[in-house]
Structure 1
Amino acid sequence: MSDFAKAQSDKHLDIIDIREFPVSSTDLQYAEELKMLFDKYGSDKANSHNYHMLYGPLLKDRDQIASLLEIGVGTNNVDVLSNMGTGGKPGASLRAFRDFLTNAEIYGADIDERILFEEERIKTYYLDQTDSRSFDHLGKRIPSELDLIIDDGLHSPNANINTVLFGLQRIRIGGWLVVEDIAPNAIPVWELVAALLPANYTPHILTASGFVREKAGTFSLNDHAMAIFAAQRYE
């Protein structure tokens, strides 16, 4: 599949360490500030994945960010696929982004209706990522343009690709779409996705290693994120 992707595109897709994404002291400052908020609300985005090293720099023009959508609110109901476990804190990252982005409206979407909520500058909606009609329904309830779309929902390529198809029509010029928690053995799928993107989108694959503490000990994680930058409006 990787060879096929290379044959379809002249784009060179490097895999870079997410810790190299911040390029200035300001980037690092915002990354650390966001990490503190993730930790405060009980999100695993910082300690388990180092995603603050990506989102801090992406959102450094924080006063200009108007809207953010995260798919995957973080269910702690174990009967739901891709759940956070009983110790998970639904809405943790949404609250962190809300506090970090003082002018933004924050939207969340999840298949588990039991954890949906609404509070100051946060609204959440039902979404089945495997159903394109569900995306259409969500699209009627959120802004037509978004600064950042995050897929931290059902971690399967078919669901992720549905998010990408939806997101390419929603991210504003200069905005980003990020797919989190990509397993290393799924990288060829994303190399193909990157090869098939229109020329006005710039893809990156980042390693996002971290650690998770459980009763049995501390375990290292090694997964990836796909970040897509929108240079121009999608046609």
Structure 2
Amino acid sequence: MSDPVVLAAWNNADWCDAVSRAHGAACRFEPGFWINGGDAPPFYPNLVTTDPDATDQQLTAIELLAEQPGRGIGIKDSFSRLDLSDIGLQPIFDADWLWLPPTAALAAGVADFGVAVVEAADELALWERAWGGMENGGRVFPPSLLDDERISFLALTREGRILAGAALNLSNGAIGISNVFLGGDEAALAALVEVARRRAPGLPVVGYESGDDRTPFHTLGFESIGTLRVWIRP
């Protein structure tokens, strides 16, 4: 697996799998896609495509999901290859896959930022509140995720207050950075990415963002390497 977009898509599928399983979902990987055939956690899809050439298999699986009446579904088309409008889905956003080579130089982190790894359930609750989470107080990231050695939640603090943060997940060939919040200070991203690189020396850092959220990543040295599209049926 050497294609950067495929690496990024697989990393994201691994992340979706971990979060969904933490919510008790029964998930599986099939040739060309990852799928959660049950209810998805908030903000997470039911299917992520992992092979740009497996569109027939992907469409068959999506059509089966869409046959279940009265339930919402979400599809992450990692390669922007699918048209799902004929089966009642609508696109809600496009985004760029982002890639930072392991040898790329970074701007220096900000010295008065302390980056900590979340270790306890109450700390994760505070992190999720700072991230933005759900308005009704429901949890997106169950504490069981803290037991997964592939996953880390980073909290960038000043005077004991979480100002910025990100989630990291390690997969085959890449480390992913997601759920990034910067508290209005784009310099915080460098500090978070530096920690990601220390946790996975020699691996690229991957993720995705859309719109203006891409700007601090590009400034830091990330490259846009492809596009994805998210479809939903509410």
Q: Does the pair score TM above 0.5?
A: no
Structure number with greater CO (CA < 8 Å, separation at least 6) is 2
Q: Could you state the TM-score of these two structures normalised by the residue count of structure 2?
A: 0.36
Q: Could you state the TM-score of these two structures normalised by the residue count of structure 1?
A: 0.36
Bigger share in strand: 2
